[in-house]
Amino acid sequence: MQLNGSEIVIECLKEQGVDTVFGYPGGTILNIYDELYKHQSEIRHILTSHEQGAAHAADGYARSTGKVGVCFATSGPGATNLVTGIATAYMDSVPLIAITANVAVPLLGRDTFQEIDIAGVTMPITKHNYIVKDVTKLADTIRKAFTIAKSGRPGPVLIDITKDVTAAVTEYEPAVPAPIHRVTDTIVQEHLEQAVDMINRSKRPYIFVGGGAIISGASAEVEEFAHKIHAPVTDSLMGKGAFPGTDPLYTGMLGMHGTKTSNLGVTECDLLIALGVRFSDRVTGNIKRFARNAKVLQIDVDPAEINKNVMTSLSIIGDLKEVLKRLNALIEQNQRHTWVSHILELKEKYPLKYNENGLSCPYIIEELYRITKGEAVITTDVGQHQMWAAQYYQYTKPRTFLTSGGLGTMGYGLGACIGAKVGCPDKLVVNIAGDGCFRMNMNELATATRYNIPIIQMVINNHVLGMVRQWQTLFYGQRYSYTVLNDPVDFVKLAEAMGAEGIRVTKKEEVAPAIEKAIALNKPVVIDFQIDCDDKVFPMVSPGASIEEAFDQKDLENRG
């Protein structure tokens, strides 16, 4: 059949099972939007307040559902406004398709109005990208983009389409999406057998779980593996929910703001089993002293991660779920009572703790966990609140904690929260943000109210850039250079002005009623929690220090 380029875009999206697109229209993409208008009963479009919000919403949709997120933007500034969202998805291996339109082919390279080489701009932050200048290649390009975004280690793909291609006509043949196969041809039986031998010989193994376990859908296999070899489990920020946070073998997060138990345990272990992790600097601390008593067994789908940051003793390349299935079939049940008892003693000795006098973020998150029974999808922005959300909410299922782990994007959370709620309408979705982060994306509150998307926006309002202030307090002689936000901005009035409900909380006894009211309202709600500006995230590892040197407030006081 004969279709124009815009019709081909929509038909290809329908082929791929796309039901939602987040975006913002403009001149060069108008043909595609005109065609989208005719298919609004099949593909829902969410008009965000800013293109960056569209990218984050598509990202949140993808992380929460496991599907590919899709966003649209026009040329020039519309396209460049997607860049931070694309980079966020790239760093955290999120399958995302960004479709932009560009000026017509004869106008390329002429400094045309709103022209930008967005393919060139995004080359370092996409898994692949395309500029389509020939309508006959459009359908195949879109299909390839979806395959690339979903396969192996997922990631974002950008498709830039010139405006004349969106209007040009060609023959279109419908196609069934190519199946996505798990990466198994790289799994070597000899390596599996060597891994089993390493595990059997180990007296003090530790399992370190990352985001790859969630991406591969390997949660059940991770749990079976941990109980079969009877080893304690720690996770990265991206790995939260891959292993139940309520399991006795779970010891909390690893790294700069990880638990003392995990940091000490990994330092003492003789075998570190790394499952879908990238060994970020926030996890390892001083790389030369990280897990220095251990052999490292790393399992990852991406060979580029092997020996990138931490040298391995043995690696297995392949889909984590499939690798663990094969390992679980080979491994015999083991008991390591002495080692596990030692780790449990550390858990008893070094629990997470905070100042319980007055309103604090850890208390708020503990109440949120209690009220939601751990069933909510939590999104966050970046900073102190992000770490507290990782520490004090117990994640028992994958795809329930969405955060910018790699890029650390302030302004990520609200867009991602909207995307997650659109993708999972039957789940309670809550964004936890600091006041500094909320200022970066609060325009997306208008998106939530426009479509009556019932999300809860919790603002942990300490009137400062909290994490930066914490560093300024500890390492910069309390010189608070441009981190104080003590101005008359009123988030409750802002919420009301944008059509949402606003609630202010200043006391501990107000926390539970506020959260319960927000849930019952079933509409966009902003809760402004007023906390002290000098609350700190502990434990903490100083930059350049080894992770076993994690300290807390009591340690600081003891140092004098």
**pLDDT tens track for 26-46:** 999 999 999 999 999 999 999
Going by DSSP bridges, is the β-strand pair 456-461/429-434 parallel, antiparallel, or unpaired? parallel
Taking the alpha carbons at both ends of the chain, their separation in whole angstroms is 79
Task: Give the burial class of 152: count Cβ atoms within 10 A of its Cβ; 0-12 exposed, 13-18 middle, 19 or more buried.
Answer: middle
Strands of the sheet with 205-209, listed across from one edge: 250-253, 233-235, 205-209, 271-275, 295-300, 314-317
Q: Do residues 411 and 437 make contact, with C-beta atoms less than 8 angstroms apart?
A: yes
Q: Do residues 358 and 406 make contact, with C-beta atoms less than 8 angstroms apart?
A: no
Phi/psi class of residue 15: alpha, beta or left (left: φ > 0; alpha: ψ in -120 to 50)? alpha
Kindly give, in sequence order, each residue whose CB lies less than 8 Å from that of residue 402, ignoring residues fewer than 6 positions away. Answer: 60, 63, 64, 377, 378, 379, 380, 416, 417, 420
Structural domains for the chain = 2-171 (3.40.50.970), 189-349 (3.40.50.1220), 361-538 (3.40.50.970)
**pLDDT tens track for 431-481:** 999 999 999 999 999 999 999 999 999 999 999 999 999 999 999 999 999
Q: What is the DSSP string of 136-197?
A: GGHHHHHHHHHHHHHSSS--EEEEEEEHHHHH-EEE----PPPPPPP--TT--HHHHHHHHH
User: Across-strand partners of 47?
Assistant: 23
Residue 73 has pLDDT above 90, yes or no: yes
Helix 219-229 × helix 320-330 angle, to 10°: 30
Q: Do residues 435 and 485 make contact, with C-beta atoms less than 8 angstroms apart?
A: yes
The reported pTM is 0.97
3-state SS of the chain: helix, strand, coil percent to 5?
45, 20, 40
User: What residues are labeled active site?
Assistant: 51, 113-114, 163, 467
> CA geometry: angle at 211 spanning 24 and 189, to 5°?
130
pLDDT of residue 557: 87
**pLDDT tens track for 478-508:** 999 999 998 999 999 999 999 999 999 999 9
**pLDDT tens track for 244-300:** 999 999 999 999 999 999 999 999 999 999 999 999 999 999 999 999 999 999 999
